[in-house]
Structure formats: C-alpha cells, structure tokens
Structure 1
Amino acid sequence: MRYVIPSPMLAKAAPTVPDPAKYAGGLLFEPKWDGFRGLLAWDGDSVEIGSRGAKPLTRYFPELVEAVPRILPQPCLLDGEIVVATGPVGAQRLDWEALSQRIHPAASRVATLATRTPAMFIAFDLLALGDEDLLTTPFEQRRARLETLMSEVAHPLHITRTTRDRDAAVRWLQEFEGAGLDGVVAKPLDQPYAAGTRTLIKVKHARTADVVALGYRIHRSGSGVGSLLVGLFDSDGTLRQVGGVAAWSDVRRRELIDELAPLVERDDAGAAVTDEGERSRFSGSKDVSFVRLRPERVLEVRYDQLEGSRFRHTVQFARWRPDRDARSCTYDQLDTVAGYDLADVLG
C-alpha cells in the first residue's frame, strides 16, 4: 500500500477558549505545539513526511525516518507536529530557532543536526491505519484508535495530551507557554477529517507592545510600503530590530510612503539611506534591504510571543502612538512568562 498525503486540516482563530456545550458533539482540547506541521506516512516499506506546504520534510529529519519503522506497531498515516526541545532536564522547552536550522540544503549538516538537536514527532490525529482510510471517521473514534496505536510507542514519537475540561484548557493556555507552546486547539469530536479547511479552533496568546519604526521595505509590486521594520531599546540603550509589520492594503501602502517621508534618513546628496536587513535561511536571494527611518515614531502592535529577543511571528499594527517617546519603547514592557518543563506537557 502507499498512502496519499492530504492537505492538513486547519484551524481558525478565536479570542477565547470555546465552550464545549455550544457544540452538539462536544470538543476535545489539545496544547498547540509550536513546530513544523507534519503528516507522517509509513507504508511498511518507506517513511514520508509531508508538510503544510508543498515541500517534503523527509530528508531533513533522518532520525524520525529511522525511528518510525522501529517504533510504530503497524503502517499508518499520522497528523502531528515536528518539534525540537532544548534546555536542561527539568527545564526543557520548545526551541523554534533550533528547529528552523534543521532545514538545510547540505546532507552533512542535516546529519550533524539530527544528532545535535534531534526532533520529536507529536501525533494528534490518525488518518489511516493499515489499509483502512479513516478520513471520514469522526474525530472521537480517530483519537481512540490513535491512543491504542501509540499506547506503547516510545520517544521520539509521542501522542499529544488532551482534555474535555474547558477549565483545564484555559489553564494550559497560560502554563504551557512557559515550555514554548503557543496556545490551545479545540477539535469537534463528531467531525471527519476535513483536509485543507479551517474546521478546528485555535486560541493563541495575544499581547500588545509599543515599538519604534526603524525603516520600511518597498512592496514587491514596486509601489508603497510592503513591511515596516520595528525595534525596541535594550537595557544598554541599543535599539534592536525585533520584527516587522505587514498586510497593508494597496491604498494604505501608498499613503505610508508620504506619511513616513519626513522621517527618512538621507545622505549628503539628499538620497534616502538604505541598509541591508537581517537574513535568515528562509531569505534565499531575496532583497532584504530597507529604507532607514529616524527612530522617532512609535506604534502599538499586537503580538503572540517572543522568541529570544524577537517577535516569533509577524506582528499586527494596532495604532500609532504619538503620545509615546521612542526611548520609552524597551523590552521591560513585555510580559515575562514563567518557565514550565516540556516533560510535564508531554505527560
């Protein structure tokens, strides 16, 4: 047999943990793992790991490919998350930066990182078992079959923990962030697996911060502001880039060019000063240069979490803050999350 890997089932955002009583079939709550979505297929002969996009992940995680035939009791198709944990025993947490480094073109580097920062696969759904297709089976039954399948499965494969208790899910939303997780997912128990549709419900952390506009990149169309780079002052007064704001409308992009023009730094000839932006392994040959702004204008943004000294995801614009002095935009304003051992999340 050979499994056809479907598009993963997706989630729509909600501001609060939903009430199971409002769903005829009830809800099952899970921690929201912060990793690479992976659909792991083992047909009895070979292992394949598909991603949320079109890019296969199989070659980047040889330690998982090796472990699956040795650990799983029978061929199956699993939906789950690939994560990397770092830190001392008793205080481990998910490490997005270490995980992102696993995507590397060199086979030798992939092999080295598989040993240095090995990954885990956290299973949360079962789409096929042997030659039985489970896509049309209600989630409650798929979950029960998954629990049976993985009852004696060992590291690096795990099954995510669940609860039907909304109060417990609310508590997880707060506590598990200390282990690097980024929210809670609610899943209707009576639903089939709806590939590519947003049937699930995700609740993520939502916070605001006042940041300084550092510069902007021109939109790929060549017209208007594509993204606004923002920063915060650290304890020694250094202004550090912490992320970017995007998703402007066409009209708003063009308006921002004019609004930000008085802040554009210029050379002696009057030309706008540009800088080379920070690169990542996902940048490739992409132009990351940006027009530099005098760090004077403050804006409020919405963000979910911090990864090191930067925002984990692209942040959302909330409003301009003309009442705030740029120097007051420091890291001190950000929430401090209490540590939580990943082992306690894995159960």
Structure 2
Amino acid sequence: MLAQARDTIPSPGALRGGLAMDLKWDGYRAIAFSPARPDGPFLLQTRRGSLIQDRFPDLAAAAVQLPPGLVLDGELLVLNSAGTMDFEVLQRRAVTTTPRAVQTLARAHPAYFVAFDILQLGGQPIVAEPYEQRRSRLEALFAGHALSPPWTLCPSTKDPAVAREWLETWTRTPGVEGVVCKGLLQPYRPGAIGWLKVRARQTTEAVVGAITGTLSRPRMLVLGRFDGEGRLRYVGKTTQISTTAAQQLVGWLTAASVGTHPWEDARFSTAWGNRDVLDTTLVAPDRVAEVSVDTAQDRGVWRHPVRLARLRLDMPVNDVPTV
C-alpha cells in the first residue's frame, strides 16, 4: 500500500475512521515473510518484487524469532560505524552479492526491520481487517513473542500534537523523514495509494547549473553546490516550474559559454535510480535558488525533487552551503 504526499498533517476526517500516524523512515520498503515451516526459507521482498534475503543474512538468522506464516510490511534500515542510520550503507548492502562481502557488511553494518503493518498471521491473510485492528495484532505480536532487534516496532500515535512534534524534532535524526497517516478503518490494499505522507522540509540554497526547457521558458532547474576544492557538484533538481515562476526567471539565467562550464560532460537522470537522461541546457553558474527540500539524501544529493521558492539575486554563489 502506498502513500500520497501532503505538505501538512491532514484533519482527522481525511481518512476513514480518523487518523493513526506512523514515523516515516528513510530506508528500503520491504515485505518480510517468515518461514511457513521449520525448514522453510525466510524471504525479503522489495517494492519492485526482488528477493534480497541473501544480502541480509543477519535478518534471515533472526527470523527464528518470528512465528510461522507471518508477513510483515516495513522498512529496512542500516546503521553505520557511528551508530546512525545511513542510506548509503543500506544501498551498498542491498546491491552486494558476493557471499564474503555480504557477511563482512552484515557484521560491520547491522540491518533492522521496522515493522509498521501486518498482512498475514498464522498463514491467514488479514489485509481486509481495518488498520486499527491490524495495528493491535502487530503490537500483540511483538509483546507475545518478545521480538527484539533487528525486529523493531514502528512508533505510532493517534495524537496530531505528537505527530507534529515528530515532524519538528525527530526528523533531525538521520533516517527519519516525517510521518505516514493511515485511516483507522482502512483495509490494506496492495499497490493502492490510500495513505498520506508528510515529509519534514527545510529551506536552503543551491547554485543553478542547468535547466530543462529553454531560457525563455525554463521547466526545471538542475542544482549544484561547491565542494571543498571549489568544484560544482550536482545536488538535485526541482519539480516542474509553474508558468508564473518561469517568467520570473527569464532574463536572469544565461547560457554558459562553450568550454567554461564544469558540467559539460555530465548527464543527469530524470529521477533518482532511473537511467533515463534529462535534456538540459547549461547555464552560467552565477545564480542562487532558494529551495524547499526534505531530509532524504544520498551522498549529498537530494533524492526527491526539490521545490523552487525564488531566485536569491542578493546572494553570491560562494555563500551557498558546500557539500
């Protein structure tokens, strides 16, 4: 089941039966299948349907805690050597297949499965039950079987004030993005967009390095920041720019002279994790954009499109935060 983005926590009547709000994590969404019989396999499936349990032997070994015939929906998280959640290390674990390297990573960077829904219990599907009842079953599962890490119960609340506190404070912790709102009477509908997600956002600045569209009608901005050696590094791109906002950019962005732009050989994907390439026009990297961003980053790159607020004509590019 999927979630639609919202800017703020909705009113209680936005979803059936009132709202429950879970913490939203910056990890890998996954479905965990406990073995149906003692000698059966533990399975870990991604949103795209790939089975990745061989890359997480620590979770597979911990599956002995789970009762048979259990299916959990949740988020995969990994800790780095500093003990904080780290998406880059999680990515490395998810794509590593060499057995020796898999074991080394598992020892150095343990994985956790944060369960936020239960889809099957004792071999019987319970997706038709309302969320409130499924949540009670999930809490009873953790209590009755004394589940311990790497199995972790996702925090949940019915109090909007608590959820707002999570948005304001908990999202300062790496790995916590915001909250997901669910209707207490909602069944679980696989693949349907029935939940609502609210990511914590902040305002910051970046250098405009390229555009899609034309100088007379920019469609998106491709953004960068300078590193410690003065090189302009790609950090993200905006959502589609409105006609009104595009008009305000006209005249302020100029095409880069041939041989002068640090991105002349660069290619930018249409979306994070996508191999399709954007058709871009390089512009002189002398303008600063004020943007609204969420907390999800991968090596300094915002994984989700950012929102343009305005050009900061008063701000020199050297005052933009570095990467």
* TM value normalised by structure 1: 0.75
Structure 1 residue 284, shift from structure 2 partner: 9.5
| Alignment partners' CA distance in 2, 1:103 and 1:262 | 41
Deviating more after overlay: 44-53 vs 283-292: 283-292
Alignment partner of 2:161 out of 147, 156, 167: 167
Structure 1 segments (4+ residues) deviating >6 Å: 224-227, 258-261, 282-291
Supply the AA of the counterpart residue of 2:120. A
Contact map agreement 1:265 1:272 (CA 8 A) in 2 = no
Residues 1:304 and 2:294 aligned together:
yes
Give CA deviations for 1:279-310 in whole Å, capped at 9, x if unaligned. 9xx87987799765431133232211264872
Give CA deviations for 1:109-135 in whole Å, capped at 9, x if unaligned. 323212211210001111001221101
Gap change, CA 1:309 and 1:56, over 3 Å in 2: closer
Aligned to 1:187: 182
Residues 1:60 and 2:55 aligned together:
yes
Aligned to 2:304: 314
Gap change, CA 1:308 and 1:81, over 3 Å in 2: closer
Aligned to 2:128: 136
Structure 1 residue 260, shift from structure 2 partner: 9.4
| Alignment partners' CA distance in 2, 1:81 and 1:54 | 15
Contact map agreement 2:238 2:308 (CA 8 A) in 1 = no
Identity of aligned residues (%): 28
Supply the AA of the counterpart residue of 2:50. K
What secondary structure sits across from 2:94 in the alignment?
coil
Supply the AA of the counterpart residue of 1:178. R
> Which aligned pairs between 1:1-347 and structure 2 lie closer than 5 A?
9-20=1-12, 25-42=17-34, 43-44=36-37, 45-68=40-63, 70-86=64-80, 88=82, 92-108=83-99, 109-151=101-143, 152-180=146-174, 181-215=176-210, 228-233=221-226, 238-245=230-237, 247-248=239-240, 262-267=254-259, 274-276=264-266, 292-305=282-295, 307=297, 310-321=300-311, 323-327=313-317, 329-331=319-321
| Alignment partners' CA distance in 1, 2:183 and 2:158 | 11
| Alignment partners' CA distance in 2, 1:61 and 1:278 | 31
Structure 1 residue 312, shift from structure 2 partner: 3.2
| Alignment partners' CA distance in 2, 1:264 and 1:217 | 14
| Alignment partners' CA distance in 2, 1:72 and 1:294 | 57
What secondary structure sits across from 1:65 in the alignment?
helix
Structure 1 residue 237, shift from structure 2 partner: 7.8
What secondary structure sits across from 1:114 in the alignment?
helix
Gap change, CA 1:230 and 1:326, over 3 Å in 2: farther
Structure 1 residue 193, shift from structure 2 partner: 0.3
Structure 1 residue 267, shift from structure 2 partner: 3.4
Gap change, CA 1:103 and 1:225, over 3 Å in 2: farther
What secondary structure sits across from 1:146 in the alignment?
helix
Structure 1 residue 311, shift from structure 2 partner: 4.1
What are structure 2's unaligned runs of at least 5 residues?
none
| Alignment partners' CA distance in 2, 1:324 and 1:120 | 45
Gap change, CA 1:230 and 1:23, over 3 Å in 2: closer
What secondary structure sits across from 2:157 in the alignment?
coil
What secondary structure sits across from 1:125 in the alignment?
strand
| Alignment partners' CA distance in 2, 1:204 and 1:190 | 23
Supply the AA of the counterpart residue of 1:82. L
Gap change, CA 1:96 and 1:273, over 3 Å in 2: closer
Structure 1 residue 242, shift from structure 2 partner: 4.7
How many aligned residue pairs are there? 309
Gap change, CA 1:74 and 1:177, over 3 Å in 2: same
Give CA deviations for 1:167-210 in whole Å, capped at 9, x if unaligned. 11111112211322000111111111011112112111122323
Structure 1 residue 31, shift from structure 2 partner: 0.9
Gap change, CA 1:73 and 1:242, over 3 Å in 2: same
What secondary structure sits across from 2:265 in the alignment?
strand
| Alignment partners' CA distance in 1, 2:105 and 2:256 | 42
* TM value normalised by structure 2: 0.80
What secondary structure sits across from 2:135 in the alignment?
helix
Contact map agreement 1:50 1:58 (CA 8 A) in 2 = yes
| Alignment partners' CA distance in 2, 1:22 and 1:248 | 27
| Alignment partners' CA distance in 2, 1:202 and 1:284 | 22
Give CA deviations for 1:1-30 in whole Å, capped at 9, x if unaligned. xxxxxxxx1111222223336655222121
